Amino acid sequence: MQTIMDFLKDFFTRIGTQFAAMSVVDIVDIAILSVALFYVYRFVRERRASKLAVGLAILVVFYAGTTVLGMRAISFLLQNIFQVGLLALIILFQPELRAALEKVGGDPFRSIKNMTESKEIAERTSVIENICIAAGDMSRDRTGALIVIERSTPLGDIMKTGVQIDAVVSQSLIKNIFFNKASLHDGAVIVADYRIAAAGCFLPLTQNSRISKDKGTRHRAGVGVSEVSDAIVVIVSEETGEISLAIGGELIGGQNYSTLRKALTDELLGDIQASKRKLRKNKNKAEGDAESGKE
């Protein structure tokens, strides 16, 4: 027991000494290493090699434990295993390492761009793409659909009328929900925080007399929720396959993949893109003023 206490005391003493001697360069060094380890972790987690990584981590913890407890035989064995561990890792992770190097080497500038791209824009773009593809497929198959995209107005009360899901937005999941033999196909799908939050939800119907009598309950429900919130609603007609948009109490029909994608992009990415354009404009103006001052 005394040996363990001495080891821990010496360990924390050395850590304290290292912290006291740290400089700005050391902090930057640790930050860069942390980012690199995060990307390595994310890369491994998304592949089958993740189980091998977990096994390796268990061995490292086990080795540390045997060292602390003074189990010399096991420690010696594990130490020799780790000496050839680098070569073993290269062999075990060869397919994953090759795929990563090919991806980076094939388009390095794009990889750098992807690392700096706004996560929010990437998420919204993916949601828009999946919704548009699903709407196009359901339109072709004459599958009725009602997709509500929440914005600043919370739709929690409406979500409670359906089944909570909380899933990534994917075209396959959307089409499965609205499959005519599925139990949730009659209700609406609510997309909140760019995830499918709920399905089979009931929406308030519009009382707007200007809506054509040819439009059924699905269209009236879509317009209704757009009247009481700032949500964007995508509607696919089961009878005609027509894709419509409901925004601010207005029903805009005759949509296809291209027009729907443009409309959703303008509505969901407009604020972000406008903000970026404003920043670029201010930056250019500042640079122009600086140049004028030099002259």
Give residue 139's pLDDT. 94
* Across 266-271, average pLDDT: 79
d(CA 220, CA 233): 11
**Nearest in space to 188 (alpha carbons), one of 143, 154, 222, 227:** 222
Question: Region 65-82: what's the mean pLDDT?
Answer: 77
pLDDT at residue 271, rounded to an integer: 55
Question: Can you give the pLDDT at residue 285?
Answer: 56
The residue among 46 and 131 whose pLDDT is bigger is 131
pLDDT digits (tens, 9 = 90+) for 245-262: 999 999 998 999 999 999
pLDDT at residue 118, rounded to an integer: 62
- pLDDT, residue 89, reads 66
Q: Is the pLDDT of residue 4 over 60?
A: yes
pLDDT score of 49 = 55
Q: Can you give the C-alpha Rg of the chain in angstroms? A: 28
Least confident of 35-49, 50-64, 127-141, 274-288: 274-288
Q: Indicate if the pLDDT at residue 265 is higher than 80.
A: yes
pLDDT-based confidence at residue 111 (cuts at 50, 70, 90): very low
To the nearest 10 degrees (0 to 180), the angle between helices 108-116 and 94-106 is 90
Each residue's pLDDT tens digit, 124-144? 889 999 999 999 999 999 999
Query: What pLDDT shows up at residue 191?
Result: 95
* Each residue's pLDDT tens digit, 75-101: 777 777 777 666 766 676 666 666 666
Locate the domains of the chain by residue range.
2-116, 120-272
Q: Pick 107 or 28 by higher pLDDT.
A: 28
Confidence (pLDDT) at 52? 63
The pLDDT, as a whole number, for residue 223 is: 93
The predicted pLDDT at position 77 comes to 77
> How high is the mean pLDDT of the chain?
79
| Predicted local distance difference test score (pLDDT) of residue 241 | 92
Q: Which CATH class is domain 120-272?
A: alpha beta
Beta strand spans in the chain (E): 145-149, 163-168, 188-192, 195-201, 232-236, 243-247, 250-255
Q: Is the pLDDT of residue 287 over 60?
A: no
Residue whose structure tokens are 């359901």? 138
Coil, strand or helix: which one is 71?
Answer: coil
pLDDT tens for each residue of 154-206: 999 999 999 999 999 999 999 999 998 888 888 999 999 889 999 999 999 98
In a 10 Å sphere around its CB, with 0-12 CB exposed, 13-18 middle and 19+ buried, how is residue 59 labelled?
middle
CA 30-35-40 angle, to 5 degrees, is 120
